[in-house]
Structure 1
Amino acid sequence: MADGRLGEHTALAKDQGPTGPNKERQEAPHAHWIEAAAHNQFVYVADLGLDRVLIFKFDATSGSLTPAAPLTAKAPPLNPLSATLNPGAGPRHAAFAPDGKFMYVLGELQSSVTVFANDAEGAYRTVQQISTLPKGFAGRNDAAEIAVHPSGKFLYASNRGHDSIAIFAIDARRGTLTFVAHVLTGGKEPRNFAIDPSGQYLLAENQLSNNVVVFKIDRATGGLTPTGQVVEVPSPVDLAFWPRE
């Protein structure tokens, strides 16, 4: 509303389809994340239960959502248009390359990142899947958050259990990821993290240790170095930067 109040809902879309193999976490559709992207023309919904990212056309004037169809008959016959992950991946969140050509989907249940390319037909094809964990790690882990650096050169993903941020370099032409490093978050259960708009700092929110740890980002390598600043916050789970006036 003009005065900031919320009006009646303008759209109601119900996820449907076959669920993934994880009977404890994928017993039903589970819409876990939503974001408007592609110049506000489309809305993306990561459904952890369906192992898919559903794509809807968005009317910014009316607020309506319409299942997106492939742009041409040559595209895969999916309705609605979606990006499908490996069975059991459990898509939690997603992030986009600055130019919109690639989508990076975090699989919570398999601790993975799946890279999708947006092709000329309007469909998403799988380019790569890569683990967020070190080789040989056998402990409990749930991937939590994912973000692309404002430069488009690096991708970050957090691990709850290993308690780290995985850093990857991005190939700008192909969209593929190359592992760079794991950096411990200085606490337990990094459920979320955020990169400041300037791309200089990453703030990791450790839910179970009740702290937010600040890291300096190396713009050349993507590396993270603790600044020494730690803010005590009860059970931090999300963080956003408010744009300056």
Structure 2
Amino acid sequence: MAEPYHLFVGGYGGCIYTLEFTPPSQGKKATLTETRPSSGGEGSTVVKSAGAAPTWLTLSSDRAYLYATDEWNEPQGLLTAYKVDPKTLALKKLSTVSSLGMWPCHSSLLEHTHPRKFVSTNYKGSSIVVHQVKEDGDFDSEVETVVHSLAERGTPGPHSWRQTQQHPHEAHVDRTAKVLVVSDLGTDDLRVYLISPSGTLTHHVDVALTPSSGPRHVAFSPPTVSRSTLYVLNELSNSVSVFRVTYADNEASTPSFELLQDSISTLPDAPKGTQSPFERWHASEIKVHPSGKWLYIANRAEDHDPLNGTKEGENDSVAIFPIDIDTGKVEPKGRKLIDCGGRGPRHFAFSTESKRERKGGDGEEDLWVAIAVHDSDEVVLSKVKEEDGTWEEMARLDGLGRPGIALWV
């Protein structure tokens, strides 16, 4: 029998859910269920103490601590730390601190520094914030929090209403764990920081993108590929930019970025059925296949409405690009579009991102992808086909509070 996987799911409904996915095995179909449903409360597997909109979740590598960002608290967002029960995965709240800015939308845990640091991006607050983390996983309230304000840097892009100010959307740690890349949707550039052994961030370089691109998220080529390549998802232009990353020495102290490809469209030839015009499409997530062979980008065909999305209408798509392993470039002519399983895919992740050591058995050689389909209010589990990288749906679960992230445990 296949060993089950688990996921934490957060979103705009004010809850964190714990799901169990059991792959198909011995003639039985795959299942996706909510573990120990309850009405909430301390220790429950349905947690309601993470604020109004826990839209991003970060799990420590030992699976001992989970961190949630509350995007909607006013006037400043909130960050909550949880202790994860190793057996039941129930979450025990440790503390909640301010994000020191509005709309925290992404976070990363720096585990290779001493002490550990927690980095969050305030989309509307135009800042990157660094909290110190204690040995017990909680935020260290006795140490001053460091705020890197972006309000005075760069020039907002030309987009009439999405680029009126700086909008850091992601703080992504590279595969060396020594470089932090912050994508600024408001200024059409990437702000690159060096991470010191103590967790101090030092600005290194800004990487410019085409005006009105609106960079949202980035993805690096996996460790299985010798050449380091950075792929940038541009939300406003629904496109991909590709950079070769070169490190000057073994310490990864001075990475440089060379543009290889730009403005590669993720869109189909035309909207279908009831889908909106392309100017209302907003690409949302980007991932590289663990083998490095394919690049995936999720397309959203509607304006993002956190609370009032609907299942009605055409499903959205995921664009798949073949990658030339030798150069890191994507092959635009080889692009495929597949059904994501619903409307409004805000996040997706591969099962290789699970931090759990698995025992092997039926289905262990298979690769799975979890898609948080926000407007449809569902999480969809699909199998990734080895031969061409496309997906085949296995299971789904609805009623999950407008999911914004599906995180493998």
Work out whether the TM-score is over 0.5: yes
In structure 2, what is the equivalent of residue 73 of structure 1? none
Residue 141 of structure 1: how far off its partner (Å)? 0.7
Please say if residues 10 and 64 of structure 1, whose CA atoms lie closer than 8 Å, have aligned partners that are also in contact: no
Kept in 2, the 8 Å contact 1:10–1:63? The answer is no
Amino acid at match of 1:64: T
Q: Does 1:102 align with 2:229?
A: yes
Q: Tell me how far apart the structure 1 counterparts of residues 219 and 175 of structure 2 sit (CA, whole Å).
A: 12
1:56 deviates by 0.4
Q: Which moved more, 1:217-226 or 1:193-202?
A: 193-202
Residue 115 (structure 1) shift: 0.5
Instruction: Give the structure 1 partner of residue 407 of structure 2.
Output: 240
Q: How far is the alpha carbon of 1:225 from its aligned partner?
A: 1.4
Partner of 1:187: 342
Mapped contact 1:11–1:64 kept (Cα < 8 A): no
Verify the 8 A CA contact 2:195 2:202 in the aligned structure 1: yes
Q: Displacement, 1:226?
A: 1.5
Deviates more, 1:89-98 or 1:136-145: 136-145
Where 1:160 maps in the other structure, the secondary structure is coil
Question: Where does the alignment leave 5 or more consecutive residues of structure 2 unmatched?
Answer: 1-133, 249-254, 272-276, 302-314, 353-364
**Residue number among 164, 168, 172 corresponding to 2:317 in the alignment:** 164
What amino acid is the match of 1:35?
H
Residue 180 of structure 2 is matched in structure 1 by 43
Report if aligned partners of 1:102, 1:116 keep a CA contact under 8 Å in 2.
yes
Q: Which residue of 2 aligns with 1:54?
A: 191
Could you tell me how far apart the structure 2 residues matched to 1:41 and 1:180 are? 32
Query: Paired residue for 1:117, among 223, 244, 255?
Result: 244
Look up the SS of the partner of 2:284 in the other structure. Answer: strand
Match for residue 215 of structure 2 among 63, 67, 91? 91
How far residue 49 of structure 1 moved from its aligned partner, in angstroms, is 0.6
Aligned residue pairs, count: 228
- Distance in 2 (CA, whole Å) between partners of 1:57 and 1:158 is 29
Specify which of 259, 277, 287 is matched with residue 126 of structure 1: 259
Quote the residue 2:397 is aligned against: 231
1:67 to 185, 197, 203: 203
Aligned partners of 2:379 and 2:406 also within 8 Å: no
> Aligned equivalents of 1:5 and 1:226: distance in 2?
38
The structure showing larger relative contact order (alpha-carbon pairs under 8 Å, at least 6 residues apart) is 2
Out of 147, 152, 164, the position equivalent to 1:27 is: 164
SS at 1:177's partner residue? coil
Query: Aligned to 2:148, what secondary structure does the other structure show?
Result: coil
Q: Distance in 1 between matches of 2:166 and 2:177?
A: 25
Larger Rg: 2
Counterpart code for 1:147? K
- Percent identity of paired positions between Structure 1 and Structure 2: 34
CA RMSD of aligned residues (A): 1.8
Report if aligned partners of 2:175, 2:220 keep a CA contact under 8 Å in 1. no
For residues 144 and 231 of structure 2, what CA distance do their matches in structure 1 show?
29
Task: Output the CA distance in 2 between the equivalents of 1:36 and 1:199.
Answer: 27
> 2: CA distance between counterparts of 1:174 and 1:213?
33
Partners of 1:82 and 1:199 lie apart in 2 by 39
CA deviation digits over 1:123-154, x for unaligned, max 9? 21211121111123444210000001111111
CA contact (8 A) 2:175 2:222 kept: no
The one-letter code sitting in structure 2 at the alignment partner of 1:175 is G
